[in-house]
Structures are given as structure tokens and as C-alpha cells.
Amino acid sequence: MATVTSEQQQAIAGAQADGNAVQSCAIIVVIDPGHGDRLKAKNPVDPGAVSGTIYESNIALDVAKKLKSKLEAKTDCIKAVYLTREGEITDVLPRLKWRVAIAKEKKANIFISLHLDAAGATASGQSVLYHPSYAHSKTLASTLSGRAKIIKTRGAKSRDNLYVINLKYFGPETKASVLIELGFITNDADRNACMTQGDAIAQEIADGVADFALANKAIFSATPAKAAQTPANVPIPKPRPKQ
């Protein structure tokens, strides 16, 4: 009987590890709560859409923090979760570019931007927007839409004019980017659901992300891609929560 040397055993183990790594699911997610930043020095922090004293930026941040916690509990498929901001950004930064710069720095596999819609009082529902050029983004958007129950879904919608869902601005690690319009801040039911059922809404989104990640392991290769460099002129902000 042939004897397997220690070197051969190490080689076999390494090959098995490599094979398993390709099918592993260790996703890095960056969550981007919309607005909450300063676009010009003379301007106040951007609140996004407003309904009375209720700001889109605050609701988006609240749901984003809950979503981060829910995703971190998905240890079977999530490696790390980051927020682009944890409070208001008072520094003046290049519009939208700083958000994508964080995704590039963190080597995000999935980027999720959270917003709320605004229209007439009767308009309602949650939408998930994706860029039509990227099939994985469309799949993620459809998966997330299928999970929406608390606020009725308006479906996955194709948009080609939104910076934060155009993967050409991201690093090679980012395979899918979507923008979720959680509901209409101008609709009483949607707004109240976002404010009182944010935890459950975050759970729906987290479950959808996990569904997508586990069903698409092959696109998240464990082989590290060449790291994308964050442009020197796009600073990574250090969020400072409002006191």
C-alpha cells in the first residue's frame, strides 16, 4: 500500500480547502442610509424628503442600523456589515461619491442604499431599484421585493440614472447594488410602518439578502480580486452623530 507523505497530505488538504472556499458564502455588505450629509458648506445637513418634523434621513438610518444587526446574525453567509454613516455627516463631501468610496474601501460584495419615496398622500409601497446592465443586481432586487410583506411591494424597478446602483463606479468585488425605497414618507401608513415596524422591515431585507447570497455562492469567489483603490480626492468620512 502506498504511503501518503506529509507533503501530499498538505497538498490534498489545501486543494480541498480551495474547493470549499469557492463555494463558501462569506459576503461583505455595505448599507448606505440615504441623505444625512452636507452637500455645500453654507447648507444644512440634507434631510431628504420631509413630512412635518420627520426626516427621510433619520428613518433610513434607523432601519439601516437594524438591518446591520439582522445581517450580522446571518453567520452562515455574512462575513461583515458596514454602514456608510452612523449619524449626520457635517463635513462637505463629493455628492454620492463618498458613499461608493466606502464600498470600495470595504470591498463590499453587496451594496444596499436605503431611502423613502415622496409623492401625494395616496401613493404607497416599497420599491427596489436596480441598474438594467447588471443581472445580479436585478436578481437581488427581485428577491428583496419578494420578501416585502409589511409594506406592500411595488416590485423591482429598472433605473439607469442612479449613481449608487451603477456598478461601473464600484470595485470588482461588488456584484450587486440596489436602492430600496422603503415606502412613502408622505403616506401615513407607510411612514408609520417604517417608524414602528423598522425591526421587522429590516428582518425582511436581511432574509432576502441571505436568500440571494446562499443561492448565488458561485459569484462570490473566495479568490481575492485585485483591490480597487479609493480615489485620493474622495475622502472616507468619519461620521459624527448629532449631539
3-state secondary structure 67-130: HHHHHHCCCCCEEEEEECCCCCCCCECCCCHHHHHHHHHCCCCEEEEEEEECCCCCCCCEEEEE
239 close to 89: Cβ distance less than 8 angstroms: yes
Q: Which domains does the chain have, with CATH numbers?
A: 27-219 (3.40.630.40)
- Give the whole-number percent of the chain exceeding pLDDT 90: 77
3-class DSSP state for residue 164? helix
Do the Cβ atoms of 101 and 234 come closer than 8 Å? Answer: yes
Which DSSP letter does residue 38 get?
A: B
3-state secondary structure of 19: helix
pLDDT tens-digit series, residues 62-84: 999 999 999 999 999 999 999 99
Looking at the predicted structure, is the pLDDT value of residue 21 above 90? no
Mean pLDDT of 197-202: 98
Please give the pLDDT value at position 138: 98
How far, CA to CA in Å, does 192 sit from each of 124, 187, 202?
A: 12, 8, 15
0.85 surpassed by pTM: no
Would you place residue 160 in the very low, low, confident or very high pLDDT band (cuts 50, 70, 90)? very high
User: What are the pLDDT digits (tens) for 97-128?
Assistant: 999 999 999 999 999 999 999 999 999 999 99
- The strand order across the sheet containing 153-158 reads 78-83, 27-33, 110-117, 176-184, 126-130, 153-158
Predicted pLDDT at 220: 86
